[in-house]
Amino acid sequence: MAQEQPKQELKYFVRIANTDLDGNKAIWQSLTKIKGIGFMLSGAILKTAGIQPTKKTGYLSDSEAAKIDEVIKEPSKFNIPSWLFNRRKDPEDGQDKHLLGSNLSFTRENDIKMMKKMKSYKGVRHMLGLPVRGQRTRSNFRKNKGNVLGVKRKEGAKAGKV
């Protein structure tokens, strides 16, 4: 009889890129829960790291998790195409970058503030709370404006007085 190898125990949470990932899901699906990683980039990361995408996240070894973390931090070093990055031709330094988590949120907010400050078309649309990307506004985008109060009555025309 051949000795059976002890089955690796499932970890319910795996920490990759400062995010806790669900151990019961496939690794390609779990990686999409990291802010800034979609399913296309997730597949590219796993192919580069040499990990099967359908493997459950909880069964990753520490070395595999470290390899994924390394590829996520510097995707350009591992020849992942730049069209998958979320920050191509950065206005500050002209580099192709990929931002994750709070860095992505912070950079997006600063970009919007810069557009508002220089009063570009997109900046003005952001200031007014209107759609930025050319959508029609005739029937959509009427909710939650904050300044819509309904019908106002004059002071003298109360409900009790006729």
Quote the pTM value.
0.73
Query: How confident is the model at residue 11, as a pLDDT?
Result: 85
Whether residue 106 lies inside any domain: the answer is yes
d(Cα 45, Cα 71) in Å, to the nearest integer? 6
pLDDT, tens digit, 9 for 90 and up, residues 122-154? 999 999 999 999 888 888 887 766 655 556 677
Report yes or no on 160 lying in a domain: no
The domain of 108 spans: 100-134
The Cα 25–Cα 33 span in angstroms is: 11
159 token code pair: 């409900």
Task: Judge if 30 and 60 occupy the same domain.
Answer: yes
Task: Point out the residues of the chain with pLDDT beneath 70.
Answer: 1-6, 144-152, 156-162
- Name the 3-class secondary structure at 123: helix
Residue 41 belongs to a domain with what CATH number? 1.10.8.50
Q: What local confidence, expressed as pLDDT, does residue 54 receive?
A: 93
The predicted structure's pLDDT at residue 138: 86
State the total domains in the chain.
Answer: 2
